[in-house]
Amino acid sequence: MTQDLAEARHVKREDYVSCTVAFIDCKKPGSHLKENYSIIGPGVTSSDDQVINLPEAHGFNIGAAAMPNGITNNLHIHFTAEVFIVQAGEWTFRWGSNGENEIKGTAGDIVSVPTWIFRGFTNTGPDDGWLFTILGGDNTGGVIFHPEIIREAADYGLYISSDNRLIDTSRGDAVPDESGRIPPMPDEDVAALREVGRDEMMSRIVAKNARDFKPGFIDSGLPGRGAELAPVIGHGITQNREHAAPITNPHGFSAEWLRLPAGGTVGPFTLDEKMVLMGHEGRMCIEYVDGGGATVEVNAWDTYSVPASRQIQITALDDVTVEALLVVTGDHRKRPAFKAEVIAEALDAGQGLDAGGFVAKASLLPTYGRAS
């Protein structure tokens, strides 16, 4: 991994490029100040003007929404997983055929909304707010906006073509005939959508104060290490057999919080899958341990993509704790492979990996010949 290749996978906060005409509600009063970001993959944007920082396929999309106080993203349906990570601000998330249900979210909270239900959100905090988003799949299929939004958008000369392109007559776009644009969803189909109760939705929220941080890796107990993980969605990369993700239905990716103490390190290790680190707090260094000497410093709010099968080491910089969300492609359990020297050091400290790949007391692990 050369330095240039390593840096090309780093999307810094200042590299994010907003689009204010990403969706059909972009001219609706109260929604006109939305900013949409496509950081990894196109997401669900309908605009040809959307800038995509890293278009490479990952099996999921990373995006963001920035909105000032009082601005709303209107009711819409997704066909693949949609996960919100509250980076800043206070938010009200709505769901239901008419957005009749509400929950609140603040910085550090994560919300996973079921597919095929209407959802929307409003920045109800006093300041500008920022949401990171994860969308399942490389092709998300676009979105379906609530029929009332589609009808109102036509008053502003806005339509969505059948290939998910925003048509804006004010800039000279021709209105497609009915067969070439997405019509409002029929009322009977809206009424037939699955109802999601409050208890079910609350089970899909991992609040900041509910994160279950535990030592995450074979090297967590070694001097100068100390990495902890808190699972959020699916089978992640934890090596702690006591970990259990609170959100278990398939998303096409896993998500878990990584926490490193000031100066702490994890690795070197390799994953067979692509992994994205979304910086939440603090600053970390990602070092490629393959002889190339490439290193990248990732700040809070930055996004960094680690290619599959690359050996890396992560170190917390400065005198603060680092928190980042790890997103890894696939619903299966992932198994980090630590460098032999790290495994040997852990064994000297009395820790090993059992046949399931979980950390265990080394003296309890069998060494008989049939165990291969």
**pLDDT confidence band for 372 (50 / 70 / 90):** low
Distance CA 175, CA 163 (A): 14
> What type of residue sits at position 271?
L
Q: Between 281 and 47, where is the model more confident?
A: 281
User: Whose CA is closest to 88, among 201, 206, 208?
Assistant: 208
Instruction: Give the other-Cβ count within 10 Å of 204's Cβ.
Output: 18
**pLDDT confidence band for 178 (50 / 70 / 90):** confident
User: Whose CA is closest to 327, among 215, 203, 209, 237?
Assistant: 237
Give pLDDT tens digits for 338-350.
999 999 999 999 9
- pLDDT surpassing 70 at residue 371: no
**CB-based contacts of 112: which residues, under 8 Å, 6+ apart?**
81, 82, 83, 84, 204, 205, 233, 247, 251
**Cis amide linkage into residue 114, ω under 30° from 0:** no
**CB-based contacts of 294: which residues, under 8 Å, 6+ apart?**
1, 2, 3, 5, 6, 7, 287, 288
What are the distances in angstroms from CA 312 to CA 98, 172, 214, 262, 266?
47, 50, 21, 18, 9
User: Whose CA is closest to 35, among 48, 23, 43?
Assistant: 23
**pLDDT confidence band for 292 (50 / 70 / 90):** confident
* Radius of gyration of the chain from its Cα atoms, rounded to whole angstroms: 22
